[in-house]
């Protein structure tokens, strides 16, 4: 059953008879892909009523289309032919305007930004290329009940325009959580709810920056961060990352040379290396930012998942100078598809970000925000976080064990104290990109660290996510990686032997 009535628009300026104008309009729609092979056309009576013409006129149009090969009659219905004619029919030849390729822009467009899109892979493939949550663990029944209750009890307000900063219940719940679990003294009015942390970063960049502003970033970082800052016109200054995260000494040297507007940092678990910034370096960063009036954008993308040692509080919890904009997300503890993130920072900046948000998006999904707030209030979200933390720690340990058993010295890594992935270095005789290509053929997906390098340099490192799959799946992923490595090494050895046999 067709959900929407097809609109057919004959050319009113044409001198052709009406039945041919109707036929031409339908043929043009088929030619440009609006109607596809097998699509049903409206019944002749229905289309006649829609166009306010005699039914016989429509029947004559359909007869012409059938004679030209554009449609077929099946039973009592008329459908687009499986293979529409390749030639241009005599009376239905396209006008020059409609003969254009509708997929080609008639104006200049800048090329698409490079994106960290999930690679296409066959069903059953194991995805290690990203540290993403396992949505199978989501308490969907509880979320569905909370969403239903929200609509039943508050549908009138949730489905209308509301506060662009986010639903008040969710902002209050976030303020309580941030104070109790992260040491941030946030008030509900000092929180902006966004569609994921990526939107929070985008709003911050557009609120803070003018084209040409210098923004310091970690030389190894997320491609989405780079794209967002580029779109805001920033000039990116990559700073080295070591086993303590971003080098604050390098930032200090850069700040002495030029005006730095902002620095984007992931101190909790540096992305992608997972290293934790030490307390002394955090204080050094805050003092440097205060002295040079640098905005610190802290991306705390996976705060809940710290498994070993005492909790590590955010930079924002120690900020006494108003230099930190703290960005967080619920995507990692719930699901990416829910698109719930938030920002906490100086009031003037949040006000500016809110005004930018209104210009672009007006507001978020208040019904989802209200439902998530209910999960906070009932304690279900806290229980879910504890379950996920236990599950992910178990998966980390199982994956470490499987990699060590299957790959031995082919991969070298430190077991991370938290996070959702391992940062592993391949042995010197392994071409990581070649290994990854061979592994994809065997159904396990990972990529080299080159993806995260601002300078796009070849990298011997790989980021291997362990949260998306359970222990059994991770063991199978390690087995496939080992099989792929054996094939890769065998192929590399054959190439080397061939080259050695060729006379110089």
**Within a domain: 462:** yes
Which of 334, 359, 379 is at the close of a domain?
A: 379
On whether both 166 and 36 belong to a single domain, the answer is no
Report pLDDT digits (tens) over 232-253: 999 999 999 999 999 999 999 9
pLDDT of residue 493: 54
Q: How many residues does the chain have?
A: 504
Q: What is the mean pLDDT of residues 307-329?
A: 94
CATH number of the domain bearing residue 347: 3.40.640.10
Q: How large a percentage of the chain has pLDDT more than 70?
A: 91
**Within a domain: 88:** yes
**Within a domain: 2:** no
CATH number of the domain bearing residue 96: 1.10.10.10
pLDDT of residue 86: 58
Report pLDDT digits (tens) over 255-287: 999 999 999 999 999 999 999 999 999 999 999
CATH number of the domain bearing residue 405: 3.90.1150.10
Q: How large a percentage of the chain has pLDDT more than 90?
A: 72
Is the model's pLDDT at 185 over the cut of 60?
Answer: yes
Return the H-helix or E-strand segment holding 214.
Answer: strand 214-218
Is the model's pLDDT at 320 over the cut of 70?
Answer: yes
Q: How far apart are CA 280 and CA 432, in angstroms?
A: 35
Cα 203 versus chain centre, distance: 16
**pTM for the structure as a whole:** 0.84
Is the model's pLDDT at 94 over the cut of 80?
Answer: no
| Lowest mean pLDDT segment, chosen from 73-87, 321-335, 353-367, 480-494 | 73-87
Dihedral sign, CA of 395, 399, 400, 402? positive
On whether both 278 and 302 belong to a single domain, the answer is yes
Helix ranges restricted to H, 296-431: 347-360, 366-378, 380-407
**Within a domain: 406:** yes
Residue 3: pLDDT band with limits 50, 70, 90:
low
Is the model's pLDDT at 199 over the cut of 50?
Answer: yes
More confident residue, 101 or 384: 384
Helix ranges restricted to H, 135-195: 140-158, 168-182
CA-CA-CA-CA dihedral for 45, 46, 49, 52, to nearest 10: -80
| Number of domains into which the chain is organized | 3
pLDDT of residue 502: 40
Report pLDDT digits (tens) over 43-86: 899 999 989 999 999 999 999 999 999 999 877 788 999 877 75
On whether both 24 and 94 belong to a single domain, the answer is yes
Tokens of residue 92, six digits: 């239905």
DSSP state of 452: G
Peptide bond into 24 cis (omega under 30): no
DSSP state of 338: G
Three-state secondary structure call for residue 459: coil
pLDDT of residue 374: 94
Which of 327, 345, 379 is at the close of a domain?
A: 379
Give the count of alpha carbons within 13 A of 344, CB side only: 25
pLDDT of residue 8: 85
pLDDT of residue 357: 95
**Within a domain: 466:** yes
**Within a domain: 296:** yes
On whether both 241 and 197 belong to a single domain, the answer is yes
pLDDT of residue 256: 97
On whether both 350 and 388 belong to a single domain, the answer is no
pLDDT of residue 87: 45
Q: How far apart are CA 280 and CA 8, in angstroms?
A: 69
Tokens of residue 384, six digits: 């879910």
DSSP 383-410: HHHHHHHHHHHHHHHHHHHHHHHHHGGG
On whether both 364 and 460 belong to a single domain, the answer is no
Tokens of residue 164, six digits: 């662009």
On whether both 96 and 216 belong to a single domain, the answer is no
Is the model's pLDDT at 454 over the cut of 60?
Answer: yes
- φ/ψ of 390, rounded to 5, equals -65, -45
**Within a domain: 52:** yes
Dihedral sign, CA of 428, 429, 432, 436? negative
Query: Which residues are within 8 A (CB) of 69 and not within 5 positions of it... i.e. 6 or more apart?
Result: 81, 84, 85, 89
On whether both 359 and 388 belong to a single domain, the answer is no
Q: What is the mean pLDDT of residues 346-361?
A: 95
Which of 379, 410, 436 is at the close of a domain?
A: 379
On whether both 33 and 13 belong to a single domain, the answer is yes
> 67: domain range?
9-101
Tracing tokens 């194991």 back to the chain, one arrives at 126
**Among candidates 344, 336, 416, which has minimal Cα distance to 116?**
336
Return the H-helix or E-strand segment holding 239.
Answer: strand 235-239
pLDDT of residue 90: 46
Q: How far apart are CA 53 and CA 109, in angstroms?
A: 42
On whether both 203 and 62 belong to a single domain, the answer is no
**Within a domain: 108:** no
**Among candidates 353, 341, 346, which has minimal Cα distance to 324?**
346
CA-CA-CA-CA dihedral for 231, 232, 233, 234, to nearest 10: -110
Query: Which residues are within 8 A (CB) of 227 and not within 5 positions of it... i.e. 6 or more apart?
Result: 113, 114, 115
**Are 206 and 357 in contact, with CB atoms under 8 Å apart?**
no
On whether both 79 and 155 belong to a single domain, the answer is no
Q: How far apart are CA 31 and CA 34, in angstroms?
A: 8
On whether both 371 and 400 belong to a single domain, the answer is no
Tokens of residue 314, six digits: 């955010």
């Amino acid at each position: 059953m067709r959900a929407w009535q097809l609109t057919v628009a004959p050319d009113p300026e044409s001198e052709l008879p009406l039945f041919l104008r109707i036929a031409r309009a339908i043929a043009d729609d088929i030619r440009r892909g609006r109607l596809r092979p097998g699509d049903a056309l409206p019944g002749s009576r229905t289309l006649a009523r829609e166009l306010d013409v005699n039914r016989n006129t429509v029947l004559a149009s359909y007869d012409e289309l059938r004679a030209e090969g554009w449609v077929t009659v099946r039973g009592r219905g008329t459908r687009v032919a499986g293979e529409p004619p390749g030639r241009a029919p005599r009376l239905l030849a396209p006008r020059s305007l409609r003969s254009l390729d509708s997929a080609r822009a008639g104006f200049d467009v800048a090329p698409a930004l490079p994106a960290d899109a999930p690679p296409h892979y066959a069903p059953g493939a194991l995805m290690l290329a990203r540290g993403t949550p396992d949505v199978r663990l989501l308490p969907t029944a509880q979320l569905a009940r909370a969403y239903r209750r929200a609509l039943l009890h508050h549908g009138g307000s949730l489905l209308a325009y509301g506060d662009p900063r986010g639903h008040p219940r969710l902002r209050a719940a976030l303020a309580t959580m941030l104070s109790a679990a992260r040491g941030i003294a946030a008030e509900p009015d000092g929180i902006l709810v966004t569609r994921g942390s990526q939107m929070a970063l985008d709003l911050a960049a557009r609120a803070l920056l003018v084209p040409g502003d210098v923004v310091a970033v970690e030389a190894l970082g997320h491609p989405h961060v780079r794209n967002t800052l580029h779109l805001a016109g920033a000039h990116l200054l990559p700073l080295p990352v070591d086993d303590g995260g971003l080098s604050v000494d390098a930032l200090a040297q850069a700040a002495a040379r030029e005006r730095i507007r902002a620095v984007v940092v992931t101190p909790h678990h540096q992305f992608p290396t997972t290293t934790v910034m030490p307390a002394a370096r955090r204080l050094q960063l805050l003092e440097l930012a205060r002295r040079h009036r640098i905005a610190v954008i802290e991306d705390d993308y996976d705060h809940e998942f710290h498994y070993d040692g005492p909790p590590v509080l955010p930079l924002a919890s120690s900020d006494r100078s108003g230099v930190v904009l703290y960005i967080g997300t619920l995507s990692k503890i719930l699901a990416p598809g829910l698109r719930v993130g938030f920002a906490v920072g100086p009031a003037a900046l949040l006000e500016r970000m809110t005004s930018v948000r209104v210009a672009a998006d007006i507001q978020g999904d208040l019904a989802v925000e209200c439902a998530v707030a209910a999960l906070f209030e009932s304690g279900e979200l806290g229980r879910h976080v504890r379950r996920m933390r236990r599950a992910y720690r178990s998966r980390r340990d199982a994956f470490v064990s499987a990699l060590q058993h299957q790959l031995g010295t082919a991969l070298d890594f430190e077991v991370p104290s938290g996070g959702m992935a391992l940062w592993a270095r391949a042995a010197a005789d392994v071409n990581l990109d070649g290994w990854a290509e061979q592994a994809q053929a065997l159904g396990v997906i990972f990529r080299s660290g080159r993806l995260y390098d601002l300078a796009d340099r070849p990298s011997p490192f790989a980021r291997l996510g362990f949260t998306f799959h359970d222990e059994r799946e991770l063991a199978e992923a390690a087995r496939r990686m080992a099989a792929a490595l054996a094939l890769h090494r065998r192929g590399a050895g054959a190439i080397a032997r061939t080259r050695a046999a060729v006379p110089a």
